[in-house]
Amino acid sequence: MASQGTEEIVTQEFYLAKKPAGEAEAEWTSYEDLLVHLAMQAEKAERYDDMCQFLTEVVNSKFTRTKPLLENERNLLSVAFKNVVGSLRSSWRTFKNTDQEYDADLLTSYQSIVEHELEKKCLEVLTLLENKLIPVCPEASESKVFYLKMSGDYYRYLAEFCEKEEYKNKAQENYQNALDEARTTLAETHPTRLGLALNFSVCYYEILKEQQKACQLAKKAFDEAIQKLDTLNDANYKDSTLIMQLLRDNLTLWTSEVNEENED
């Protein structure tokens, strides 16, 4: 029996062809449920590229019906691309920090291959976000904040290694839009809003080189959340307090670095 690739598994035609003869034609939702199930199995097997393919097909399927992703589908999509891109970013950092005295040209060429793969994958998820996820997202919703933040994240990843000003500007623009939305939609202690503040402040500090704004944003988010800590529910307590700790850790580190630079 000939082997089959993942691209065959995720087609609706393949799914329908496997149904027993005489059964009614499956609805799209049944097909999407199967894809989500496959994505969860792929996650367990740590096959994150497959997860990306399964969930991209879910996005495409739902977009044809102007339907947003469910929360669990959205989270699976985030996990899938985060793991694939995270692995590529780790590889890139390894090349960037490697002593290239052995054969600098060869290592630089190898690094450029990784950069090409990384750029391609980031642009792949950004295309989904900008063309198919954000357009069907309900206004004034946590999902919209989530997707705008996610867009900011992937433009930030691109700006880490690519000199295009467009990527820096797009990162800042998406983060700012997400923050504006979050301030009118989500509580100060909501983990999505806190995670946004954390990542946006990192973008200010590491990508945009605006250390003062980074510190101001992180401090404001932490202070606002600490004042409303007693309103946290059990479901969000662990996630929110963890992000608050990260905000405080960054503030401590950045304040120390800024003070050292001022002394110099």
For the stretch 41-53, pLDDT in tens is 999 999 999 999 9
Residues 218-235 have a mean pLDDT of: 91
What pLDDT does 106 receive?
83
What's the token pair of residue 4?
Answer: 């089959």
Residues 61-77 have a mean pLDDT of: 95
For the stretch 188-197, pLDDT in tens is 999 999 999 9
What pLDDT does 236 receive?
86
Domains 9-15+26-136 and 144-264 share a fold: yes
Vertex 168, ends 183 and 222: CA angle to 5°?
Answer: 35
**CA dist., res. 259 & res. 264, Å (int):** 9
What's the token pair of residue 39?
Answer: 């994505």
Between the alpha carbon of residue 59 and those of residues 22, 85, 125, the distances in Å are: 29, 19, 11
For the stretch 87-112, pLDDT in tens is 999 999 988 887 766 677 888 888 99
Residues 239-244 have a mean pLDDT of: 95
Q: Which residue in this structure is represented by tokens 């101001």?
A: 216
| Residue of 2 and 70 predicted with greater confidence | 70
CATH fit for domain 144-264, picks 1.10.10.10, 1.20.190.20, 3.40.1050.10, 3.40.50.1110: 1.20.190.20
Tell me the domain boundaries of the chain.
9-15+26-136, 144-264
| Residue of 92 and 7 predicted with greater confidence | 92
Identify whether the C-beta of residue 121 lies closer than 8 Å to the C-beta of residue 82: no
Residue 179 DSSP SS3: helix
What pLDDT does 253 receive?
95
State the DSSP H helix or E strand holding residue 89, giving kind and residue range, or none if neither: helix 71-96
Under CATH, what is the fold of the domain 9-15+26-136?
A: Delta-Endotoxin; domain 1 (1.20.190)
